[in-house]
Structure 1
Amino acid sequence: MTDQTLRKDAARNRQLLIAAGRDLFARRGLAATLNDVAHHAGVGVGTAYRRFANKEELIEAIWHEQVDELETVLREALAASDPWEGLVLYLERSLAAQSRDRGMAQMLAGRTWPDHYDQQRDRLAPLVDQVAARAREAGVLREDVTGTDLIFLQIALTDISGTVQDGTVPEGRGDADQLYRRYLWIVLDGLRASASGPTELPVAALSTYETHTLLQPRNQG
């Protein structure tokens, strides 16, 4: 086997592990192990440890990709002609990504954040501040709302998605995975500097019975 073939195989295995890691961390959060990722990728554990010394190195590689994706969303939000539409675009797309990806949500919430991730985080924070400042200056966002408020609101809303993922979905509520969007719309009405009236919410409220059902742990069997 030539050196070039070995390099191609190494690069292929690395990408397989990153893809498998993203999938596992998205579904299970950052508790999944590197061994779990190796099995999910269909490669040997030894191969996984040759590509990544530990799980943290794999998480860092995945985080670099995720930061790139989130930066793209933020720049699209800043490019929107309407500052309010830009703010909504950012929150919708960021929350949609986090609702699908528990690992990303945990990272953005700072629950697992080694010091060397600070540089990546600092790429996003100034852009979030710009999204908020642009909307404030246009008079469409409350004057007292900052970029950090948008971050904490997302942390709160992604917890709704985690509750749905862990809970027992009530019969007939195929939209349960979108429940966070109902509360996003309520939050958006509270963020606006002025509103002509309440926004129609995109998802119906759960009944008391449905809420109690959803809060029961999901049967994993």
Structure 2
Amino acid sequence: MPAVPEAAELRADARHNRDRIVEVARELFAVRGLDVPMAAIARHAGVGVATLYRRFPTKESLVTEVFADQFGECVSVVDDALADPDPWRGFCAAIEKICTMQAVDRGFSTAFVAAFPDAVDIGHERDRAIRGFAELTRRAQAAGRLRADFVPDDLPLLLMANCGVITASGEAAPAASRRLAAYLLSAFRAEQAGPLPPPAPLTLHDILNSTGAATR
């Protein structure tokens, strides 16, 4: 049997290291959020810090790779909700699925609101999701199902509340998140609407600040 060329062995080893780094980072981010140090990721992946930085020069580049699929999934959630002929059902489905994604993976919601100036594709998908949610809001209100004083900027408030529940509830986080989402959606119904205080001056970036996560 002919020997495997040395260059091929090196390429295979490099691919293995890269895949292992991404796998470990995904696991750690899901449990601990984005504030996991790069050195800890390297240690858990069984590679040197120099190897990690050779594959991913910045934490931003690693986060972008780890959450690429989730960003695509988030856009798909909103697109599916927009395709639903029932605007209220689509709105509820989007809220429930986004909250579930947040409960399953603590790092994703932080990654979603983090500023990634060099990650053009990620920024584009995030903007698509935000615009789609605004359209979901408009349609549900036009159908008379969503309370008129709900604004798209209430989404950060919802996600911050969900983040708090997830952080405090440990292994029960998915169940606690579903319960919270159900309570909130009930309150969002137009027929349940009573007067609300003015919207809070919050943005998606406030979620990032509240968790204290670092992406660099």
TM-score range, shorter chain: 0.7 to 0.9
Matches within 5 A, 1:107-122: 107-108=111-112, 110=113, 112-116=114-118, 118-122=123-127
Pick 1 or 2: higher relative contact order, CA cutoff 8 A, min separation 6: 2
RMSD across aligned positions (CA): 2.4
How many residues align? The count is 185
Matches within 5 A, 1:108-187: 108=112, 110=113, 112-116=114-118, 118-165=123-170, 175=172, 177-187=174-184
Determine whether 1:52 maps to 2:56. yes
TM-superposed deviation, 1:115: 4.1
TM-superposed deviation, 1:80: 2.0
List per-residue Cα deviations over 1:36-68 (Å, max 9, x = no partner): 212322333332121011322211222433211
Determine whether 1:23 maps to 2:27. yes
Unaligned stretches of 5+ residues in structure 2: 193-216
Letter in 1 for 2:191: S
TM-superposed deviation, 1:177: 4.5
Moved more, 53-62 or 123-132: 53-62
Percent of paired sites with the same residue: 34
> Could you tell me the TM-score, scaled by structure 1's length?
0.73
Determine whether 1:100 maps to 2:107. no
Aligned match of 1:81: 85
Kept in 1: contact 2:22–2:66 (CA 8 A): yes
> Could you tell me the TM-score, scaled by structure 2's length?
0.74
Unaligned stretches of 5+ residues in structure 1: 166-173, 196-221
Kept in 1: contact 2:146–2:190 (CA 8 A): yes
Q: 1:76 and 1:8, CA in 2 relative to 1: closer, same or farther beyond 3 A?
A: farther
List per-residue Cα deviations over 1:149-169 (Å, max 9, x = no partner): 22321222221111123xxxx
